[in-house]
Amino acid sequence: MKAKLKARLKEKETEHLEIFKTLVRQKSISSRNEGVKECAKLLKSIMEDAGITTEIYDTPGQPVVYGELKGNHPDKPTILFYGHYDVQPPEPMEKWLSEPFEPTVREGRLYGRGTGDNKGQLLTHVLAVKAYLDLVGEVPVNVKFIFDGEEEIGSPNLEEFVRAHRDLLKTDVVLTSDGPLHDSGSPIIAFGVRGVMNFDFQINTANTDNHSGNKGGVIPNAIWEMVRFLSTMMDEKDRVLVEGFYDNVVEPTAYEKQLISDLPFNKEGIARSFGVEKILHDKERFYKRLLFLPTLTINGIEGGHIGPESKNIIPCEAKAKMEIRLVYDQDPEDLIQKIEEHMKSHDSRIILTRVSEDMRPSRTSSELEISQKIIEAVGKAFGEKPLIYPAMGGSLPDYVWTRVLGAPSIMVPYANADEANHAPNENMSLQCFYQGMESDIEIIEGLKK
């Protein structure tokens, strides 16, 4: 049956490419509220044409598109496919070789905003299911879809939607295809993400900037005071000095350590890719810091004068934009309390302001039976053992599945490594697009057993 399904996909490649182009052609820039609702309607139409019962759910922001196949198999598992149909703004326009919302094929790739992130990848799920319905009349497992219209702005309404629709979304596993394959072209499976929380520090040392000669040496400089405070938060080995910062950090299991040992590691290649002179850590330490340890990052410092001309002042105000990447079992509220205690003990003049919603960390065990089935299926689809990441360094709203819905969540990216997501000339290799559908078929077949 798998051979017949894949042959069906091959026959339909031209039709599937046209559907892909149609979806990319529709703008859906969530940060500008531009075309998103129209794209939701288009996506609903595509899903219904595939035989998927689909509804659009309004939220306080952009719509959620939900689909499912009726006629469930009570003795079979349920898979919930997650993706997002909103995209980043296309600027800078002058860097594009073709119009960002006029999808264009060049050298085996479809170029256009949203091709890889995430319209092409979410379509692989829809079109793989369509192949089953066209050829067999049903899918051998229970299938649901949820497509987000706000992922590019942090999915601010997704958690509340999931809380309100737990019964509708009930599933045995959530599968997300977002992001790229490994640089080598090898498939990747990831079982978690770090969380993120953002906040600002501010200090005011006077009610105005002052003359650096007339008052220099006798009043405090806000930028120096901020730098001194920030230096109390981390040592020269990049260990965070806030008391209790690492209290809830969980050590990787023996199996997760084995997974790390199986990952590729080339110091020189990684350094070139990252644009740095060298990588300071060995393989074990590199992956542990990237996947299992939290970070405290200064995103930027602002204050005083940095124009081309001289301005001899003692700045009265300084700000620092801060970020923490959280690992599993860390709680944003606990960490922010510890940061505040650190402030009080080192400089009571510092003011802390939360600036955005927190995205909590998430983790699924790669040792679950369903995890192992998906690992095996992806290996069959790509003809090679996938690279298994116990977690990813970045952040996604994955916690809504693991913490709110209470389901395992697994990420299987299908886009090419050089997809240029969020950048000009974003693209998706057509080979990757078609390969993603075949991978979905292997996953469905693997889960039905």
DSSP string for residues in 278-342: ---S-HHHHHHHHHTS-EEEEEEEEES--SSS---EE-SEEEEEEEEEE-TT--HHHHHHHHHHH
Helix (H, G, I), strand (E, B) or coil at 22: helix
What are the tens digits of pLDDT across the range 6-38? Answer: 999 999 999 999 999 999 999 999 999 999 999
Of the listed ranges 63-67, 70-74, 174-178, 385-389, the least confidently predicted one is 70-74
Supply the pLDDT for residue 71: 73
| CA dist., res. 260 & res. 274, Å (int) | 19
What are the tens digits of pLDDT across the range 335-370? Answer: 999 999 999 999 999 999 998 778 899 999 999 999
Q: List, edge to edge, every strand of the sheet that includes 351-354.
A: 295-303, 317-326, 195-204, 351-354
Strands 173-176 and 295-303: unpaired
What are the tens digits of pLDDT across the range 419-428? Answer: 999 999 999 9
What are the tens digits of pLDDT across the range 216-268? Answer: 999 999 999 999 999 999 999 999 999 999 999 999 999 999 999 999 999 99
- pLDDT band of residue 196 (cuts 50, 70, 90) is very high
| CA dist., res. 312 & res. 187, Å (int) | 56
What are the tens digits of pLDDT across the range 377-414? Answer: 999 999 999 999 999 888 888 999 999 999 999 999 99
Cβ density class 21-51: b for 16+ within 10 Å, e for less:
bebbebbbbbeeeebbeebbebbbebbeebb
Supply the pLDDT for residue 421: 94
Residue 180: pLDDT above 90?
yes
> What pairs with residue 199 in β-bridges?
322, 354
What token pair was written down for 161?
Answer: 């939607």
What are the tens digits of pLDDT across the range 286-328? Answer: 999 999 999 999 999 999 999 999 999 999 999 999 999 999 8
User: Which uninterrupted H or E stretch holds 40?
Assistant: helix 36-49
Q: Is 371 left (phi over 0), alpha (psi -120 to 50) or beta?
A: alpha
Which residue has tokens 């599993």?
328
What are the tens digits of pLDDT across the range 263-285? Answer: 999 999 899 888 899 999 999 99
Instruction: Return the amino acid letter for 61.
Output: G
Supply the pLDDT for residue 168: 97
Assess contact for 47 and 126: CB atoms under 8 A. yes
Supply the pLDDT for residue 70: 80
Query: Which sequence spans correspond to the domains of the chain?
Result: 2-193+361-447, 195-254+292-354
Nearest to 361 by CA among 328, 404, 392, 402: 328
Supply the pLDDT for residue 394: 85
User: Is the sign of the CA dihedral 340, 341, 343, 344 positive or negative?
Assistant: positive
| Fold exhibited by the domain 2-193+361-447 | Aminopeptidase (3.40.630)
Helix (H, G, I), strand (E, B) or coil at 151: helix
Q: Does the domain at residues 195-254+292-354 carry the CATH identifier 3.40.50.2000?
A: no
What is the mean pLDDT of the segment spanning 204-214? 96
What token pair was written down for 338?
Answer: 């510890």
Ranges 67-76, 112-121, 180-189, most confident:
112-121
